[in-house]
A and B are shown apart, each in its own frame.
Chain A
Amino acid sequence: MIWIDTIIQGILLGGLYALFAAGLSLVFGIMRLVNLAHGDLIILGAYIILISVTVLGLNPFFAILIAAPLMFALGWALQKLVLNRTLGEDILPPLLVTFGLSVVIQNGLLEGFSADSQRISAGALETASISVGPISMGVLPLLTFGSAILVIVVLNHIFYRTAIGRAFRATSDDAVTASLMGIKPERVFATATGLAMVVAAIAALYLGVRANFDPSIGPARLIYAFEAVIIGGLGSLWGTLLGGVIIGVAQTVGAAINPEWQILAGHVAFLVVLLIRPRGLFPRGN
């Protein structure tokens, strides 16, 4: 019984990792840009929510209504003013620039909020749980997982069923020909990064409510996100969710065996999947 419980915890934790990863996956899928500051941008989002909650006294789930548009604007401007200039044949400039950005965000947050760890308070929800037969599940992890599924459904809908999604795919295929269709690739990329930052804001909410955070933890979250994206296969959001679940389950199972093995078990699972399926579980043709 304890094992079923552990595995369910792991699956639900995977939802959080999928939320970390979905924005990363979206941006990579559309413009082949690896955003090394993605984890730090999530932490930034968590601080925006924290401020909304503590200063404005909002419920964190309403605070997202402030954080999401702010993060969209930030992502849009970041892409338009900075990252678009780094895109090209050479993959090194975006890596260098986003690495630099990661350092800037961490230090900016350190200046503004000190290194103290913070927590977004969600009141009774933090400890609420529901029981299904003998198994008890936290409401918060369930909400996280449900949100991950919803985010993926919505992103897939946008990507495959809407005009902007068509523009995403066309621009990703061939930016020059897309411009002959009246599309401004810079604008499409800015919109995509804005969208990725909205997902980051949602990830930030659950990150901040679930556990303590401080300005330095972004890169570690980025690694889980990367692993989820790569296990899932680049470009597949459902694959990313499965990747998150695999890492989540490996971590909780590892921790159940020996608390020190939690992180290690996640990385080992990642390596094992890569050994068996070097291109991930659901690689998109290309």
Chain B
Amino acid sequence: MALLETKGLTAHYGDFQALFGVDIHLEQGETVAIIGANGAGKTTLMRSITGVLRNAPEQILHNETPIGHLPADTIMKRGIAMVPEGRKLFPSLSVEENLIIGGQHKGGRDLGDRIDSFLSRFTGAPDPMELAAGHDGAGYWTLETIYELFPILRERRHNPGTALSGGQQQMVAIGRALMSNPYVLLCDEISLGLAPVVIKDIYAALPKIKESGASVIVVEQDIGQALAVADRVYCMMEGRVTLEGRPSEISRDDIHAAYFGAVA
């Protein structure tokens, strides 16, 4: 049984169709990389999974439960966390507050959810606690363990999140997503715009993240990086998956063809 699966996933921006029947899956404990050129639809795929874009229920399955129609906050409470493209730190929050807010609403147990859950017994509306599917957000990751993972953040914890270097901001974005102790961590281009040594530092956190029990999808433009970290790779082009395989099984030519289209 796949931990997370998309089936014939489609996505639209107004009249523009960005995804045309994407099928991917993520198994428990796996690291999957998604590569593809600019505009291939990688971020759109992430937005669909996280509920920022809504879909038909059956197009996305989490532990075989249809979740395509659920809103972003509910998806997060099920234990699917996102490191969004461009980091998207909250400028009004300090580094530490950015981290805290990542774990603040985990597991669908905030007051609003409790009230909605109670009301759902009478209104027949979906019960948010039930939708959170037993993810209680407890686990290895706390402020303390995030600071152990990225010590520099402890020094900078009172700075505004946006007053850090690009690499440090990326660490905050990753830490923020980990604070909910997700089962699935989605990372959209965490190496974008960073120097190679910084990228190395950031990817060095991956084994620890896996050890904490998260399965990971990384979206990467850097093919070498993707092949190095992933158990399986998908390549996307123009809204479709054009290649799937284990890094050891796919050749440079396969990737080239899948990335840029068949050479005419």
Contact = CB atoms under 8 A, between A and B. Distances in A.
A137 to B, nearest CB: 38
A182 B90 contact: no
A163 B92 contact: no
B97 A181 contact: no
B230 interface: no
Interface-central residue, A167, A169, A170, A176, by most chain B CB under 10 Å: A170
A105 to B, nearest CB: 27
A170 B92 contact: yes
Interface string B58-95: 00000000000001110011000110100010111100
B112 A174 contact: no
Contact of A174 (B51, B88, B102, B106): B88
A248 to B, nearest CB: 30
Nearest to A173: B90
Contacts of B101: 166-167, 170, 181, 183
Interface residues of A, number: 18
B2 interface: no
Contacts of A182: 73, 76-77, 104-106, 108, 110, 180
Given A170-B93, A176-B52, A183 B88 contact: no
A179 B76 CA distance: 8
Nearest to A180: B82
Contacts, number: 66
> Is the interface on chain B under 10, 10 to 19, 20 to 34, or 35 or more residues?
20 to 34
Contact of B72 (A163, A170, A176): A176
Given A167-B105, A179-B51, A180-B81, 15 more contacts: A169-B92, A173-B92, A173-B93, A177-B88, A178-B90, A180-B50, A180-B76, A181-B102, A182-B105, A182-B106, A182-B108, A182-B180, A183-B105, A184-B73, A187-B112
26 contacts: A163-B104, A166-B93, A166-B97, A166-B101, A166-B104, A167-B104, A169-B90, A169-B93, A170-B90, A170-B101, A173-B90, A173-B91, A173-B92, A173-B93, A176-B52, A179-B51, A180-B72, A181-B76, A182-B73, A182-B104, A182-B108, A182-B180, A183-B101, A184-B71, A184-B112, A187-B112
Interface in A145-204: 163, 166-167, 169-170, 172-174, 176-184, 187
Interface of A: 163, 166-167, 169-170, 172-174, 176-184, 187
B73 A177 contact: no
Give the 6 A-B residue pairs with the shortest CB-CB distance, closest first: A182-B105, A179-B72, A169-B92, A177-B88, A182-B76, A173-B90
B136 to A, nearest CB: 13
A183 B101 CA distance: 9
A170 B50 CA distance: 18
A191 to B, nearest CB: 8
B3 interface: no
B52 A180 contact: yes
A198 to B, nearest CB: 16
Nearest to B75: A180
A173 B71 CA distance: 19
Interface in B183-225: none
A181 B50 CA distance: 11
Nearest to B179: A181
A179 B71 contact: yes
